[in-house]
């Protein structure tokens, strides 16, 4: 299994903080957000390598950071070549870019580089292994108003994902998608096809596509989750 951290965004909603610093390298509680994620990944023993995909504009910022970061795990940076929000590949586009560049054929843990959560990654991986299918992490906000028009929302039967809505005005559940996914190697082939259908930007659209082509499960956690767009506790 490999892990991919998506860090190629341009952080427009946090300007001017992100004018010269990418969002994953902004500090929370005394260290970059990215290092909080890596601390959690250290406990995931099944992860053999960590890939961080960034854009060309901020590549040097990540390179300098990595030169000063010590880890027992193998961490590699991948430059997607984009220079601005106008030519960005999008989240799914970056996943596909890495799949092609690295010729990956492993189960793939994908986490947004600005995502802070309290659940255990080993528990998430164990859950995935027990189902053997692509798995999405959901946080139960327990209130439909909290998810309305704000998040991708899942509807589950047991752990099986039956439906996925993107920022719906009338959500059918309070399970908010948290930009943490574990894709089975068998489902990786569907990612490029979803892009040809215009689903390159939003991972939620990829999840909806996978529901038509495969089987997807939901891992629900109730621990702390810091909303990615604003970093305030829900």
Q: What is the pLDDT of residue 132?
A: 94
Successive 10-residue mean pLDDT values, the chain, 234 residues: 94 76 91 95 94 97 95 94 91 94 94 93 97 96 90 95 92 93 94 80 87 96 73 41
| CA 184 – CA 163 distance, rounded (Å) | 19
Name the phi and psi angles at 177, rounded to 5: -70, 140
Q: What is the pLDDT of residue 231?
A: 45
- Asked if residues 173 and 142 have their Cβ atoms less than 8 Å apart, the reply is no
Name the phi and psi angles at 187, rounded to 5: -90, -10
Q: What is the pLDDT of residue 198?
A: 74
Q: What is the pLDDT of residue 10?
A: 86
Buried b (16+ CB within 10 A) or exposed e, 186-223: ebbebbeebbeeebbbebbbbbbbbbeeeebbbbebee
| CA 224 – CA 139 distance, rounded (Å) | 9
Q: Token digits for 179?
A: 């930009």
SS3 71: coil
What CATH number matches the domain at 1-116, 3.40.50.11540, 3.40.50.720, 3.40.190.10, 3.90.550.10?
Answer: 3.90.550.10
Query: Does 3.40.50.170 match the CATH number of domain 117-122+133-178+185-222?
Result: no
CATH 3.90.550.10 domain extents, the chain: 1-116, 117-122+133-178+185-222
Q: What is the pLDDT of residue 199?
A: 63
H-helix or E-strand containing 98?
helix 91-102
Cα torsion for 230, 12, 88, 163, to the nearest 10°? 30
pTM score, whole prediction: 0.92
Q: What is the pLDDT of residue 2?
A: 96
Q: What is the pLDDT of residue 229?
A: 47
């Amino acid at each position: 299994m490999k892990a991919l951290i998506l860090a190629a965004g341009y952080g427009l909603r946090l300007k001017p903080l992100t004018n010269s610093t990418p969002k994953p390298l902004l500090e929370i509680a005394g260290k970059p957000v990215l290092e909080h994620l890596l601390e959690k990944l250290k406990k995931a023993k099944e992860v053999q390598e960590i890939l961080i995909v960034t854009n060309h504009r901020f590549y040097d910022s990540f390179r300098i950071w990595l030169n000063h970061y010590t880890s027992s795990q193998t961490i590699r940076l991948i430059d997607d070549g984009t220079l601005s929000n106008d030519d960005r590949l999008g989240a799914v586009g970056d996943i596909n870019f890495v799949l092609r560049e690295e010729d990956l054929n492993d189960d793939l843990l994908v986490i947004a580089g600005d995502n802070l959560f309290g659940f255990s990654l080993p528990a998430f991986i164990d859950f995935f292994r027990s189902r053997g299918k692509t798995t999405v992490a959901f946080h139960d906000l327990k209130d439909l108003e909290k998810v309305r028009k704000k998040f991708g929302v899942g509807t589950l039967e047991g752990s099986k994902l039956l439906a996925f809505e993107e920022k719906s005005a009338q959500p059918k559940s309070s399970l908010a998608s948290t930009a943490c996914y574990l894709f089975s190697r068998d489902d990786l082939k569907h990612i490029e096809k979803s892009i040809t259908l215009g689903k390159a930007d939003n991972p939620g659209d990829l999840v909806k596509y996978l529901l038509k082509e495969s089987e997807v499960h939901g891992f629900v956690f109730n621990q702390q989750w810091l909303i990615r767009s604003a970093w305030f506790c829900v």
